[in-house]
Amino acid sequence: MTVGSVVVLGGRSEIGVEVATRLAAGRPVVLAARRRGDLAAESAAVAAAGATDVHTVEFDADRLTDHARAMSEIAELGPIDTVVLAFGILGDQQRAETDAQHAVNIVHTDYVAQISVLTHLAQLLRAQGSGRIVVFSSVAGVRVRRANYVYGSAKAGLDGFASGLGDALHGTGVSLLLVRPGFVVGRMTEGMTPAPLSSTPDQVADAVVRALGKGRARVWVPGLLRPVFFGMRMLPQAIWRRMPR
């Protein structure tokens, strides 16, 4: 039986590569990112983790018109087991409040581009009759805060879309895991003060792989954030608007 590949869309992502290394043993891995020739370190990491082959594919998330080509190229490499959507930007909230183009750029990458990729992927995996999709939402989208409302609004939209898509895929042989991490200490948040209940890329990847193994549809990282945010939904707006990032 042919073993399906692990695909990371956003092949330089710390979390994406950490997930791939945990799933790589005995499987081919596909790393898709801009400047595919500069993925030597990421390719070496998954190869060292036991990947049978490592392929790189040129992929620019913001070029919607190129998504079909990228997905087709990935499909031509063989059956797919797991696809991790690991691309995204945090952006600059302060700048986005006055720079409309910057605000649109954040939402384009973190929401619009994700919808495009997910729609292509859903068609591809439905036709295959199997596969798993990992989507990274955020606690920032559970209840959007004034402190990062541009990024949070994009994640809120993505969370809703992915939730609906997961339901639409029920019974097709394809599953979707929606991941809701809190603050992740890594390159994207470098220089920022970590929030309470922060995680590292390693910890997020461990939680993702455990959830995949259990066939879960949702996972919060860390798990304690789920009851915390249940309570935060009840906070009066006058208090909520003063909450930090």
* Residues annotated as catalytic (active site), given as ranges: 151
- The phi, psi pair for 117, rounded to 5°, reads -60, -45
How many other β-carbons are positioned within 10 Å of the β-carbon of residue 71? 25
Give the CA count within 13 Å in the CB-facing half-sphere of 83: 25
Beta strands in the chain (DSSP E): 5-9, 28-33, 53-58, 80-85, 131-136, 174-181, 218-221
Buried b (16+ CB within 10 A) or exposed e, 106-115: bbbbbbbbbe
